[in-house]
Amino acid sequence: MSDSYVWFEGIRFPGSGFDPEVFREVRDKFVVKNEDTITVTYPKSGTNWLVEIVCLIHSNGDPKWVQSVPTWNRSPWVETIPGYEFLKDQEGPRIYTSHLPIHLFPQSFFSSKAKVIYGIRNPRDVLVSGYFFWRETNIFKIPETLKEFMELFLQGHVAYGSWFEHIRGWLSMRERENVLVVSYEELKKDTRVTVEKICEFLGKKLKPEEIDLVLKYSSFQFMKENKMSNFTMLPDSYVNENFSFIRKGVTGDWKNHFTVAQAEAFDKIYQEKMAGYPPKLFPWE
């Protein structure tokens, strides 16, 4: 079990698989290529769902790749030690993932034409999803109760720091041609239209029957059963018995977990921190 943390620039990260020196290299030296496709999210925003969609679009709906190679090898996390080691020498266009806040992201991205899909989700659902994820894994130690976890979340003292800063930082890029913002909520509500939007952004023209395959193999049920995508391949020492990565897959689960007082306290801070943002950016509002 790893209950220690790695710190970089005042942000906490899980204790295993991360190294401050790698964070520095990723930010300052990693060369982003124009042909790269990068899925970026704050953790628990539906990252792996987006990654599955990106991989299936890449293979025109053919599920062979997603059914034979684990997520973390198909689209490695650039900020992890193994991800960075693999990606820095990989030739040709690359597909990868990151949870990094914008100021720690590879700086070479900002002068490149690489495509970033930035996934967002109602932070209340992010919080609940994170609570169950971190509680059932030994990757990043969190307090026992949701109440205590919420306090840390609102202060940004959780893995990858503050949700609010992550969102504010990345949304400042939303007008760029090479950045597409996709919400978990729109993906749930209108999966096909959103997948088509991602195809267009990536410049991939898929036939309707290929889109059908993307939808089929990235569905909640298929991902839950695909051991390459459901994280059951994580070593036993990392997960508890009750662990289920593809957990509920719904919007609004926070309503089952927040008390009225917690919901109010959350709203107050949310309103303060997100003041000035047009609500239409956030489908949960």
Among 14, 46, 61, 101, binds ligand A3P (CB under 6 A): 46
If one asks whether residue 249 binds ligand A3P (CB under 6 A), the answer comes out as yes
If one asks whether residue 253 binds ligand A3P (CB under 6 A), the answer comes out as yes
Locate all alpha helices (DSSP H) within the chain, ordered by sequence. 20-28, 47-58, 64-68, 71-74, 81-88, 123-136, 146-155, 163-171, 184-189, 191-202, 208-217, 220-225, 260-273
Helix (H/G/I), strand (E/B), else coil: 19: coil
Q: How far is CA 35 from CA 47, 74, 109, 202, in A?
A: 20, 16, 11, 10
Structure tokens at 158: 């959780």
183: left (phi over 0), alpha (psi -120 to 50) or beta: beta
Among 30, 49, 153, 201, binds ligand A3P (CB under 6 A): 49
Measured from the Cβ of residue 104, the count of other Cβ atoms closer than 10 Å reads 21
d(CA 44, CA 119): 10
Query: What residues act catalytically?
Result: 99
Q: How far is the CB of 89 from ligand A3P (least distance, A)?
A: 26
- Span near ligand A3P by CB under 6 A; candidates 26-34, 47-55, 157-165, 203-211: 47-55
Task: Compute, in degrees rounded to 10, the torsion defined by CA atoms 147, 236, 230, 282.
Answer: 20
If one asks whether residue 47 binds ligand A3P (CB under 6 A), the answer comes out as yes
Judged by CB, which is closer to ligand A3P: 32, or 51?
Answer: 51
Judged by CB, which is closer to ligand A3P: 13, or 49?
Answer: 49
| Pairing of β 115-120 and β 5-8 | unpaired
If one asks whether residue 120 binds ligand A3P (CB under 6 A), the answer comes out as no
Of the candidates 91, 88, 46, 95, the one whose C-alpha atom is nearest the C-alpha of residue 66 is: 95
If one asks whether residue 183 binds ligand A3P (CB under 6 A), the answer comes out as no
Measured from the Cβ of residue 214, the count of other Cβ atoms closer than 10 Å reads 29
d(CA 17, CA 156): 21
- Span near ligand A3P by CB under 6 A; candidates 146-154, 202-210, 243-251, 263-271: 243-251
- Span near ligand A3P by CB under 6 A; candidates 108-116, 163-171, 196-204, 214-222: 214-222
If one asks whether residue 83 binds ligand A3P (CB under 6 A), the answer comes out as no
Helix (H/G/I), strand (E/B), else coil: 96: strand
Q: How far is the CB of 72 from ligand A3P (least distance, A)?
A: 11
- Span near ligand A3P by CB under 6 A; candidates 58-66, 151-159, 215-223, 271-279: 215-223
Among 43, 61, 101, 106, binds ligand A3P (CB under 6 A): 43
If one asks whether residue 100 binds ligand A3P (CB under 6 A), the answer comes out as no
Among 37, 246, 273, 282, binds ligand A3P (CB under 6 A): 246
Binding mask 223-242 for ligand A3P (x = CB under 6 A): x-------------------
- Residues within the interface to ligand A3P (CB under 6 A): 41, 43-49, 125, 129, 132, 218-220, 223, 246-249, 253
